[in-house]
Amino acid sequence: PFDINDCVLDFQKVSEDSKEKSNVDILLAAVKKDHVLQKIKAVEEAGLTVKAVDVDILAITNAFLRNFPAQDSTKTFALLDVGASCTDVSILKGGVPAFFRQISVGSNECNAAIAKRMGVSPEEAETLKVSPGEKAQEVADCTKTVLNGLIDEIKLSFGYYENQSGGGIDEVYLGGGGAAIPGLDMAFQETLGSKPHYWDPFGFLDATQIPGGLSLDEKAKNTFGVAVGLALR
């Protein structure tokens, strides 16, 4: 939708027809230059040097593939990363990216729903969302409408992929800061018929080789998919 001269482009060949050499599938990434330069400036002002610029969902995909390198070529996996303001969707077929989408719904909407219904501040809503304690059911009731809306959008993405490819989604993996929202796994169960798998981006590491070990609880690990994918670059 933008002038090509205003964008930074990069691509990677995904596959090539062995019979028809002119038929090549590529993965194309494009972003407006101003957006990239703004990020680079912030990093350089912090005294650091930029070695690479990546896309969140590609970084998450790379982290996932590092943890699950032996992909079953017959299966299709969906990666969902629930952030504060958006949710990234990546669909992999046999370890190869086949579909990407960013949904403009994230955990901030859950905070707003909790704050409004329970009459608390945004800060208190964030605390309740992360650690609801004995109010887990009440918090889940607050976020149900938001989560159902998010899953409806995810279903649309899955439906589009299925219509284009002729195949369905075999397994769903969930990560991101919003992955632990109370009621999210049950919303998946009710709407899609199965719960998603939670995965550890650090799973491929040997913690015994890390000075001091890896002192993160399981919920915290789930939020580092993008960071691990960037580090792998």
When computed from its CA atoms, the radius of gyration of the chain, rounded to whole angstroms, is 19
Tens of pLDDT, residues 144-161: 888 889 999 999 999 999
The Cα 6–Cα 29 span in angstroms is: 14
**Among 87, 97, 85, 91, CA closest to 159:** 91
Residue 218: band (very low, low, confident or very high) from pLDDT cuts 50, 70, 90: low
CA distances from 80 to 100, 119, 208 (A): 10, 30, 29
The Cα 30–Cα 53 span in angstroms is: 11
Q: What is the pLDDT of residue 13?
A: 87
Residue 32: band (very low, low, confident or very high) from pLDDT cuts 50, 70, 90: very high
Tens of pLDDT, residues 35-70: 999 999 999 999 999 988 888 899 999 999 999 887
How does DSSP assign 172-221, residue by residue? Answer: EEEESTTTT-TTHHHHHHHHHSSPPEE--TTTTS-GGGSTT-----HHHH
The rounded percent of the chain whose pLDDT value lies above 90 is: 40
CA 171, distance to chain mean position in Å, is 15
Q: What is the pLDDT of residue 41?
A: 96
Cβ 187 vs Cβ 151: under 8 Å: yes
Tens of pLDDT, residues 183-205: 788 888 888 788 888 888 988 88
User: Which structure tokens are listed for 31?
Assistant: 């972003």
Residue 219: band (very low, low, confident or very high) from pLDDT cuts 50, 70, 90: low
Tens of pLDDT, residues 62-111: 999 999 887 777 889 999 999 989 999 999 988 888 899 999 999 899 99
Q: How many helices (H) and strands (E) does the chain have?
A: 8, 7
Q: Does the structure show a pLDDT above 80 at 229?
A: yes
Helix, strand or coil, per DSSP, at residue 148: helix
Cβ 24 vs Cβ 35: under 8 Å: no
- φ/ψ of 91, rounded to 5, equals -115, 125
Range 127-143 average pLDDT: 86
Q: What is the pLDDT of residue 135?
A: 87
Q: What is the pLDDT of residue 139?
A: 87
Strands (E), 34-108: 76-82, 87-93, 96-103
